[in-house]
Amino acid sequence: MVDIISQADREAALLGKRLVEAEPVRRIVGRNVSKADVLFFDLDDLRVALKTYSNRNALVRHTVGRWFIRRETAAYEAANGVGGLAPFLGRLGPYALATWWMDAEPLRAYSGDRLDPSVFDRLAVMIDELHERGVAVGDLHHRDVLLGADGELYMVDLATAWVLGKNPGVVRKYLFARFCESDRVNLARMRARFTGGCAETMSGVSPSASAWHRRGRRIKGFWNRLRGKGSE
């Protein structure tokens, strides 16, 4: 195990060196100070998406940045091998991580279009696999679900994921179950938005899951208002 970890660390260090010497071809600036910037690199043999807090102030880097990168790294490692999840390339220091840059567009690019329901059937399978690995997405959003021109479906961004862990206590198990329910509600809402229909009637959504989701939306809305933002 030590040798495997060491090899992974060496590969991440080599990738980090290549990225320092390269110029990003695209950049998405975080929507607020708590969000990372995402830089996209087209290397000769690899397309890389780099999530980084390096441009944030020292307080954000050492607190929010370090915490989110550590959490997301744990989520990617627990979810390793789940089909459709952007392959994880490693944690590049305390404030950054890298994944493959998937050749696809977020579902929000298809707003106004009716997507084939099979897209969301495949997304449901992906989410079930994540839950089986002990990973709940937590804040499943259509901007983080990508659809390629070839019809392939991908998921990126596990920053808000909740990892069950190896020896979870009662509270952690309870919260994990609630976040799994939230994933199913968000999936139903997404399916309704892009295929037509009512999220409340979508299969797989229990009354308790809907109630948990509504509470979460109210908390998120309150937080957005405090920051002077509208609800997403």
For residue range 78-121, list pLDDT tens digits in order: 999 999 999 999 999 999 999 999 999 999 888 767 888 899 99
Q: pLDDT digits over 181-216, tens only? A: 999 999 999 998 888 766 555 555 566 555 555 555
Question: Among candidates 4, 7, 24, which has minimal Cα distance to 98?
Answer: 24
Condensed to tens digits (0 to 9), the pLDDT of residues 142-165 reads 999 999 988 899 999 999 999 999
pLDDT for position 2: 45
* Euclidean distance between CA atoms 37 and 50, whole angstroms: 8
- pTM > 0.85: no
Task: List pLDDT tens digits, range 12-32.
Answer: 878 888 898 899 999 999 888
Strands 37-42 and 47-52: antiparallel
